[in-house]
Every structure is written in C-alpha cells, then in structure tokens.
Structure 1
Amino acid sequence: MSLLSKLRCITVDVTGTLLAYKGELGDYYCMAAKAVGLPCPDYKRMHEGFKHAYTEMATNYPCFGHAAKMPNIVWWKTCVRDSFIRAGYDYDEETFEKIFRRIYASFGSSAPYVLFPDSVPFLRWVRSQGIPVGLVSNAEYRYQDVILPALGVNQGSEWDFGVFSGIEGVEKPNPRIYEMALERAGNFAPEETLHIGDSFRKDYLPAKSLGMHALLLDRFKTPDADNWRKAGAPVFPDLASVQDLLNSGNIDLLKEL
C-alpha cells in the first residue's frame, strides 16, 4: 500500500514549487521603457527599488490591497511607480502610464514564468489516484484566472481548488490560509493532508502547526535547505522525487513528514 493511499488531499504552493520567474525583473522593465523610446533602466537599481517598494506595499496594503478594497491594477501601479522613483526614474504621468501598462500586461501573462517540467505530470498523477489537489499561494487573482491556465495548469485537470491570498484576504504564513484549504477540500482532517512548498516559514511551519504533513522542495540548491533539514523538515529536490516517496509503501516515512 502506497503512502498516497493514506492521504485524502494534497495542497501545493505555486511560485518556486510549480513555476519560477523567467529572466530578471529588469528585463521586463527595460523592454517596457524601450518600447516607448526611453533608455533601459539600470537593472540593479530597479531590483533594489522594486524590493523596497513591494515590501512597503505588502506591509501597508497586504494581500494586494484586499482589505482596503484597492483594485489590483491600482496596487501594482502604486508599487511600480514607487519602484521607478526609488531607482531614480521619475517619469511624467503620460510616459509612466505607457510603461506601466506594458509591465502590467507582461506580468499578467505567461511570459515571465516557466513551469518546472515535473509539475503537470505530478499534479495529474495525484489526481489520477483519486486525491484532490489544492493550490495555496500568496498571489493575486491573475494567477488563478490567467497565468496558470496560460501555462497549461488548469482547474479540473491539474488542480481542484485554490486559495489565493489576493482573492481571500489572508496570506502565508497565517495558518488560516491552510484552514481555508482544508475547508475547501471537504473539511478533511489535517493529518489526512500533505502540503508541499518551498518556504520553511510560509509553507512548512504553518502547515505543521495545524497538524498537516508537510515537506519542502529545494529546486535551486539554496543554503537555507541545510537549516530546514536540521529543523526536521523533509527536503526533496523536485516533485518527481516526491512522487517516488508517495509511491513508497513505508508508512513510517509519512509519520516523519
């Protein structure tokens, strides 16, 4: 009997687990600026500017402005404008509007993302075993409605339900987002559910705090993975190795997750 037969649901993180960003942030900001006849912004300054602008927006208006009822496009427009200003580029309103529209459209498409080759096979395999799959992500609505479908990750064929922070108004590491996933799955018990993610703080700890099984992926060989292991987290290189684990008949392995 496989480990999978002991589970009633599997929840999966999205960014860093199923897909990754392609290229650098500066690539898309540069293309947007060049499209309106401007020089390419400095990559390093843009990266630092965006990092600080995003952190400030996420602190003041969490979950992409959900509680403040801020439209998604306004949240991103404020963040992108602040990113440019912090990087030393204060464009006039008309110019900025043209640049922003291109950036917003790019990140609302599949262009900046790449799907890991084992993601779709894994999701389909889990569902073929009669186990529902839920996505739990700190992401805005476009992940659910546009980006994932454009990448060939569709509700009904690769996943069954989703809990996205920009839609629900709660985000990791708040355990409530995992409680919502359990409710949406059909009120399964935490011990009947496995969560797979790539963040010790946002995925592993809150899922375990509810009594769920949890494991982490280390797709990029991060130095942090050694600390995850020392703290007791099972760490795997990819979803193919997780599938091998779940095909295993060693029930003691599940108790360790």
Structure 2
Amino acid sequence: MSMITKLRVITIDVTGTLIAYKGELGDYYCMAAKAVGLPCPDYKRMHEGFKLAYTEMAKKHPCFGFAEKIPNIVWWKTCVRDSFVRAGYDYDEETFDKIFRRIYSTFGSSAPYTIFPDSQPFLRWLRGKGVIVGIVSNAEYRYQDVILPALGLHKGSEWDFGVFSGLEGVEKPDQRMYEIALERAGNIAPGEALHIGDSMRKDYLPAKSVGMHALLLDRFKTPDAQNWRKSGAIVLPNLVAVQDWLSSQQKDT
C-alpha cells in the first residue's frame, strides 16, 4: 500500500518549503531608502539589525502582537524602526514613515517572494487524490489573504485551510499549531496526517509529538540535513521527490 492511500490530510510549511525570498532583506530596505532620496543602507548591518529587532519583537509581542491586539502595521513599524536604529540609521519621523510605507507595502505583496516550480503541481496533485491540504506557518494574515494568492497558491484550488500564527495566537514549534490543523481538517486522527516542512525544531518534532507522520525538505542542501537523517527523519530534496515517495509502496504498512 502506498503512503498516499493511508493519509487523509497533509499539512505543509510555507517559507523554504513552498516559497522562498528573492534576494536579500537589505535589497528591499535599500530600495526603500533610495526611493526617498537617501543613500543605500549597509546590507550587512541592516540584516544583522533586522535579525536582532525581529527576535526582540517576537519575544516581547509574540504572534505579531496577537494577545495584545497590536495592529499588524504597528507591530511591523516598531520592528522595522528598531532594525534601522540597530543598524545605525535613526531617521526623523517623516523620513522613516516614507521608508516604512514602501517596505510594508513590498512585503505585503508577491514582489519579494518566488514560488518553487513544484509547489502548485504538488498541492493540486494532493487535492486531486482527495487529500485535505492545510498550510501551517509562522506568518501574519497577509500570507493567507494576499501573498499566497498572488503567487498562485489559492485557497480552494491549492489548499483547503490555513493555520497562521498571526491569526491563531500560537506559533511553531508549539504543538498546538498541529492540533489546530487536525481539528480544522475535520478532527482527523494524527496517524492519518503528514506534515512537510524544512525545520527539525519547528516542523518535524512538534508534528511527530502529536502523532502525525512528518518529513523534511532539504531544498538548499543544508549541513543540518545529515543530522536529520541520522535522527531517523525522512529527508527529501523537493516536492517531486515527496510525490514519488508518497506514491511508492511502503514496506512498513
């Protein structure tokens, strides 16, 4: 019996699994600054500043400020301002507003992202097999409402339901994300569900902890993949390989 015949729902991560960022964060911050007549910020400093600012914001106000009902744009404005300050750029309010509006608009569109060529065919293949497809992502509402549809990943044709941290108030690796997914799929038994992602900590381990099947994608040949395999995880290079794996006869049936 092939694996696909044993599954009723497959959940899948977004960034690094279905889509990826185009270029570097600094590219977009630089373009925004140049658009208002300022010199381009230092890419490396900008990237490091953003990492620190984002980590701090996610710690203080998790799930994009869900519990405190912080508006999405306010959460990001605080984060982006702190990113610039940490990188050594402290603009006046009017200048920063112009820069931020461009950055917020850009990252709320499909512009900074690219979809892997195997993503849409794979999701459609799953749904054609009668499998329920869910998106499980540490992302804010714009992924669901704007970004995924703009990239050709539509609810109803490529996926059936989403579990987004900014809308749920929990985030991976909290296993509650996966429990919500099983509930949303129609209270499917964990043993009839598979999760696909690219992080051992955020995807594989929490999905397995609730009793789901799980596998990892290694699209970028990460050094971590060797340890993933050693720990017993199924690691595949892309969704074409996942489709082949799901269709093949499994020995452990």
TM-score by length of 2: 0.99
Partner of 2:212: 212
Partner of 2:6: 6
Structure 2 Cα separation of the partners of residues 124 and 212 of structure 1 = 22
CA shift for structure 1 position 108 = 0.2
Structure 2 Cα separation of the partners of residues 143 and 127 of structure 1 = 20
Partner of 1:48: 48
Describe the SS at the equivalent of 1:10.
strand
Structure 2 Cα separation of the partners of residues 250 and 212 of structure 1 = 17
Describe the SS at the equivalent of 1:44.
helix
Partner of 1:146: 146
Structure 1 Cα separation of the partners of residues 198 and 231 of structure 2 = 15
Describe the SS at the equivalent of 2:195.
strand
Structure 2 Cα separation of the partners of residues 140 and 7 of structure 1 = 28
Describe the SS at the equivalent of 1:143.
helix
Describe the SS at the equivalent of 2:135.
strand
CA contact (8 A) 1:196 1:214 kept: yes
- What is the CA deviation profile of residues 7-47 of structure 1, one whole-angstrom value per residue up to 9, with x for unaligned ones? 11000000010000000001000100000000000000000
Describe the SS at the equivalent of 1:91.
coil
Letter in structure 1 aligned against 2:248: S
Structure 2 Cα separation of the partners of residues 7 and 130 of structure 1 = 9
Partner of 1:200: 200
1:89-104 aligned within 5 A = 89-104=89-104
Describe the SS at the equivalent of 1:173.
coil
Letter in structure 2 aligned against 1:149: P
Q: Which runs of 5+ in 2 are unaligned?
A: none
CA shift for structure 1 position 2 = 2.5
CA shift for structure 1 position 251 = 4.6
CA contact (8 A) 1:3 1:251 kept: no
Partner of 2:134: 134
Partner of 2:31: 31
- TM-align CA RMSD: 0.7
The answer on 1:235 being equivalent to 2:235 is: yes
Describe the SS at the equivalent of 2:222.
coil
Letter in structure 2 aligned against 1:137: S
Structure 1 Cα separation of the partners of residues 75 and 206 of structure 2 = 27
Partner of 1:16: 16
- What is the CA deviation profile of residues 86-106 of structure 1, one whole-angstrom value per residue up to 9, with x for unaligned ones? 000000000000000000000
- What is the CA deviation profile of residues 196-234 of structure 1, one whole-angstrom value per residue up to 9, with x for unaligned ones? 000000000000001100000000000011111111111
Structure 2 Cα separation of the partners of residues 199 and 22 of structure 1 = 20
Structure 1 Cα separation of the partners of residues 250 and 205 of structure 2 = 24
The answer on 1:108 being equivalent to 2:128 is: no
CA contact (8 A) 1:218 1:237 kept: yes
Partner of 2:174: 174
Partner of 1:78: 78
Structure 1 Cα separation of the partners of residues 209 and 232 of structure 2 = 13
Describe the SS at the equivalent of 1:40.
coil
TM-score by length of 1: 0.97
Partner of 1:221: 221
CA shift for structure 1 position 249 = 1.9
User: Paired residues, what number?
Assistant: 253
